Amino acid sequence: MSKKDLIDAVARAAELSKEKAGAAVDAMIKHIENALSKGQEVSIPPLGKFKVAKRAARTGRNPSTGQEIKIPAANVPKFLPSKTLKDSLNRA
């Protein structure tokens, strides 16, 4: 599903114009980005949690040359699905 598909689905489900649904989706994404950039966790109970994980510096290899390279430490986004979401995906 693309962002456009999500906006269309929100517009239909909430009976909003596509412009208003697009603004709502953009606002939600921006809020999640802002919270994560501050190191906060975002919890959406039926969906899961978005949080920031710290990835340590490590050594990797350049796939084209095989030469070792140093990969710096980084903060990366992480999503942890809720039990409700996992259960809904595994219903028989």
Identify the H or E element spanning 85: helix 83-89
Per-residue pLDDT band at 18 (split at 50, 70, 90): very high
pTM of the complete model: 0.78
Mean pLDDT calculated for residue range 73-86: 95
Per-residue model confidence (pLDDT) at position 92? 61
DSSP string, 20-49: HHHHHHHHHHHHHHHHHHTT--EEETTTEE
Pick the residue with more confidence: 44 or 92?
44
- Tell me which residue has tokens 């350049």: 62
Name the DSSP class of 82: -
| Mean pLDDT, all residues of the chain | 95
End-to-end Cα separation, the chain, in angstroms: 23
Per-residue model confidence (pLDDT) at position 55? 95
Residue 46 predicted with pLDDT over 70? yes
Residue 63 — φ and ψ, nearest 5°? -65, -25
